[in-house]
Amino acid sequence: MSDSPPPQSTGSSVVKELPPVFTRHEAVVGAALRAELDGRTLPIYDSLRYYMGWADVDGTLTHSPEGKRLRPTLCLLACEAVGGDPADALPAAVAIELVHNFSLIHDDIEDGDRTRHHRPTLWVVWGEPTALVAGNNLLAISDIATQRLRDAGVSTAIKAGHILTERYLSMMEGQYLDIAYEGRTDVTVDEYLMMIERKTGALIEGAVELGALVGAGGSSEVVEGLRAVGDDIGRIFQIRDDVLGIWGGPALGKPIGADITCKKNSLPVVHVLEHARGAQRRELQRIYARDEISAIDVERVLDVMDGLGTQRWCQGQAETRWNRARKRLASLQLSSDATREFLELGEYLLVREV
Amino acid sequence: MSDSPPPQSTGSSVVKELPPVFTRHEAVVGAALRAELDGRTLPIYDSLRYYMGWADVDGTLTHSPEGKRLRPTLCLLACEAVGGDPADALPAAVAIELVHNFSLIHDDIEDGDRTRHHRPTLWVVWGEPTALVAGNNLLAISDIATQRLRDAGVSTAIKAGHILTERYLSMMEGQYLDIAYEGRTDVTVDEYLMMIERKTGALIEGAVELGALVGAGGSSEVVEGLRAVGDDIGRIFQIRDDVLGIWGGPALGKPIGADITCKKNSLPVVHVLEHARGAQRRELQRIYARDEISAIDVERVLDVMDGLGTQRWCQGQAETRWNRARKRLASLQLSSDATREFLELGEYLLVREV
């Protein structure tokens, strides 16, 4: 299977739907996440239940869209892929999802983002100081979940703790670089990829590595191989996110070119700013020097991107990584079920539209 | 010694100076803290070296006031007090000091405080988004320090990790309550004490408990006894801080009544608002309902505090806890050096003027 041609960016409608591995783990992940906040009665935990999609602003339990839970799904799948019981990796899956949500709560503050999953962000409802503390609370709760990994054996638990701390620090360094890049129009593609490797990649890679580590009961070649697959999956996830940020449009409830309007440094933007030449380059620099980017400016940037084949190039970057990941998956000799589910998941990430 | 009368709030000038235990540990704590940031080259670590007092804004190494390093000092003293080698507890001492500084960086953002130790706060220099991330980075580095505790034995290291997480979560809950109390004039003394127990007390108590735990190589009655002493010391520290926030004045570079002007809910303020009656109560409510509290208003609040004996009452609350802590210290049969140093430290905290 590793020699079949790479999936096309125009993948079939079947592939564009969330593959079964997500729904297979959805209930157990959802229950385990909720359990971490059960019995916590200070009002600040209501703000977290709201953010996680389990409650309204007033604390009434509800069912809002919870997101894909990509990281816990990857973690449990990696655990199964090496023959482990996914229940053993559940504390790690939960911890990673909570760290991810902690980072989103703080990102929303840092970026001034007012909406996520079609709802007001935490700081918009509760104010910045409370949102900042709520994020920090969630991080502590993720530590508590991590400590529950002890059942997987002390040495694995200690190693898992180290991996989580490293990944968390990488994520913060990536977040710092993202902030430091703001307002710059000379960020290179290499600088950008190095930033997302940390900001998004570290935690996704960590999800796969931790699941495999717990499932295998310690380090091994297959754990290292899956970690590398996780690294590729993280890159693919972010590249597709960046493509959707420009061309995703209606399915995301955003106009075409949304990330241009808000001057976000994403892969297509970094690519076009690095590769445009001559008059086009000067025009892009003028547009990005303006306080606000108009709809006409967005059209111009999109035209230059079309001319440079920016979307195709971005998608190609993701496909290159996916081909590498597929070859590696084939070499790891996982069960056929696990291989198939990893392939479905990766192919979905490559072409997803939401 | 535990039967001698409690020190007076007008303690001798000798007691008001930093006792030798602080200077005894200063160099080793300073070097260990610096080592955690050594070799970290991203500019965000310059902002942390600045905040810790080791560098200027431009990264030039410098010697700014570093604060007392109360928490690491307590941690190492507690380790020695149970017969341990303070070097073993150094990772815990460092971790706690870093968590403390992480919380200060975020507190400065939450409270909009522009100055700390006579220097601009991190967010003032680098902006809020970077400051928020810098705090999170420091927290990760504290986790890395904690993980170095493994040398003290796996089971002690695991227990220490749990204690740190619990204390960190308590601290965040306390910080949340502090924010939630803002603008309220009906916070009771009990509510306030419960808040500072978490916001300030949890980490100071944790410093003593962790030092004792590592020094003793596991839980024991004396570890539990020292933890309780740490709980009292945390309370005393915060009460004295609150007294200085009103009456500290020149030594802190602040006018008398500073915490009244900024409407901070501190123990004296909560006390006067809870205990004033009749016309005085109505006047205080009117004053605290104003957008800005004038110098004349501050004088009035100070008058009411004088009438109610608020300063004496606050100091008495601290002395009651100190008497309890001293009795407990005497009962723990520590070495005479350790007992003396704990007594010097506690008596200093009771009357310190900076």
Give the residue ranges of DSSP H helices in A182-294: 189-196, 202-216, 221-247, 258-261, 267-275, 278-289
User: A119 pairs with which residues across the strands?
Assistant: A116
CB of B62 within 8 Å of any CB in chain A?
A: no
CB within 8 Å: B179 and A133: yes
Homologous superfamily (CATH) for B13-242+334-351: Farnesyl Diphosphate Synthase (1.10.600.10)
Is B259:B246 a contact under the CB 8 Å cutoff? yes
DSSP string over B31-72: HHHHHHHTT--SHHHHHHHHHTTSB-TTS-B--------HHH
What is the distance between the alpha carbons of residues A178 and A271, in angstroms, rounded to a whole number?
Answer: 16
Please write the tens of the pLDDT for every residue from A52-95: 999 999 989 997 777 899 999 999 999 999 999 999 999 999 99
Q: How many CB atoms lie within 10 A of CB A108?
A: 22
The pLDDT confidence band at residue A152, using thresholds 50, 70 and 90, is confident
Please write the tens of the pLDDT for every residue from A296-342: 999 999 999 999 999 999 999 999 999 999 999 999 999 999 999 99
pLDDT value of residue A15 = 60
Question: What are the backbone angles phi and psi of residue A82, rounded to the nearest 5°?
Answer: -100, 15
Min CA distance, A133 vs chain B (Å)?
A: 6
pLDDT value of residue B7 = 41
CA-based nearest residue to A294, from A272, A262, A266, A270 = A262
What is the distance between the alpha carbons of residues B172 and B102, in angstroms, rounded to a whole number?
Answer: 11
Of A130, A143, A179, the CB nearest to B179: A130
Which candidate in B130, B154, B176, B194 is best for mutational testing of the A interface (most A CBs within 10 A)? B176
CB of A14 within 8 Å of any CB in chain B?
A: no
Interface of B with A in 248-287 (CB under 8 A): none
- Tell me the ipTM for this assembly: 0.91
Mean pLDDT score of chain A, rounded to an integer? Answer: 93
Min CA distance, B93 vs chain A (Å)?
A: 18
What is the distance between the alpha carbons of residues B11 and A334, in angstroms, rounded to a whole number?
Answer: 72
Going by the DSSP 8-state scheme, the letter that residue B4 receives in this structure is S
Ranges of each domain in chain B: 13-242+334-351
The pLDDT confidence band at residue A4, using thresholds 50, 70 and 90, is very low
What is the distance between the alpha carbons of residues B171 and A131, in angstroms, rounded to a whole number?
Answer: 15
**pLDDT tens for each residue of chain B, 354 residues long:** 334 444 444 444 446 889 999 999 999 999 999 999 999 999 999 999 999 999 999 989 987 777 899 999 999 999 999 999 999 999 999 999 999 999 999 999 999 999 998 899 999 999 999 999 999 999 999 999 999 998 888 899 999 999 999 999 999 999 999 999 999 999 999 999 999 999 999 999 999 999 999 999 999 999 999 999 999 999 999 999 999 999 997 777 778 999 999 999 999 999 999 999 999 999 999 999 999 999 999 999 999 999 999 999 999 999 999 999 999 999 999 999 999 999 999 999 999 998
CA-based nearest residue to B210, from B161, B174, B171 = B161
Question: Checking DSSP bridges between strand A115-116 and strand A119-120, what pairing results, if any?
Answer: antiparallel
Question: Checking DSSP bridges between strand B115-116 and strand B119-120, what pairing results, if any?
Answer: antiparallel
User: pLDDT higher for A263 or B255?
Assistant: A263
CB within 8 Å: A44 and B176: yes
What is the distance between the alpha carbons of residues A297 and A306, in angstroms, rounded to a whole number?
Answer: 14
What tokens were used for B303?
A: 């008058």
> A138-142, A223-227, B63-67, B212-216 — which is least confidently predicted?
B63-67
Question: What are the backbone angles phi and psi of residue B65, rounded to the nearest 5°?
Answer: -60, 135
Report the topology of domain A13-351. Answer: Farnesyl Diphosphate Synthase (1.10.600)
Q: Is A115 helix (H, G, I), strand (E, B) or coil?
A: strand
Which candidate in B133, B142, B149, B175 is best for mutational testing of the A interface (most A CBs within 10 A)? B133
Amino acid letter for position A290? R
pLDDT value of residue B13 = 46
CB of B115 within 8 Å of any CB in chain A?
A: no
CB within 8 Å: B176 and A144: no
What tokens were used for A276?
A: 């445009």
B221-232: b or e for each residue (b if 16 or more CB lie within 10 Å)?
Answer: ebbebbbbbbbb
The pLDDT confidence band at residue A8, using thresholds 50, 70 and 90, is very low
pLDDT value of residue B252 = 75
* Residue A118 pLDDT greater than 90, yes or no: no
Q: How many CB atoms lie within 10 A of CB B297?
A: 19
